[in-house]
């Protein structure tokens, strides 16, 4: 799941579009949440659907050149550079 924490923000939208395009080009299924909902609602929806991974893109992270990735199975979160998202999921291009 790709979660845009601030839909409508040009920087967040741009990073999300880039990540989404990379997943699609690699043949990965991705659910992109760009709704105008509070963060808790977005996380709850992703958990209820059962998405195994959440790529979280927010304004502070984008400003720092980073995104957060959450593994639903164990709840662990990691922060990594935007450019490393593709490598993290096994498709560098």
Helix, strand, or coil here: 90?
A: coil
Token pair belonging to 69: 């990735």
Please tell me the distance from the alpha carbon of residue 1 to that of residue 53, in angstroms, as a whole number.
6
b/e burial code for range 28-39 (CB count within 10 A of at least 16 → b): eebebbbeeeee
Please tell me the distance from the alpha carbon of residue 24 to that of residue 43, in angstroms, as a whole number.
22
Which domains, from first to last, does the chain contain? 2-88 (3.40.50.800)
Token pair belonging to 49: 């659907």
Q: What is the pLDDT of residue 49?
A: 93
Q: What is the pLDDT of residue 91?
A: 76
pLDDT tens digit at each of 93 positions of the chain: 999 999 999 999 999 999 999 999 999 999 999 999 999 999 999 999 999 999 999 999 999 999 999 999 998 999 999 999 988 888 765
């Amino acid at each position: 799941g790709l979660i845009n924490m601030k839909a409508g923000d040009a920087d967040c939208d741009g990073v999300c579009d880039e990540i989404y395009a990379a997943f699609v080009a690699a043949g990965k299924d991705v659910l992109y949440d760009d709704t105008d909902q509070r963060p808790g609602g977005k996380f709850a929806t992703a958990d209820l659907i059962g998405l195994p991974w959440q790529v979280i893109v927010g304004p502070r992270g984008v400003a720092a050149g980073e995104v957060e990735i959450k593994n639903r199975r164990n709840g662990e979160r990691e922060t990594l550079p935007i450019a490393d998202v593709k490598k993290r999921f096994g498709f560098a291009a």
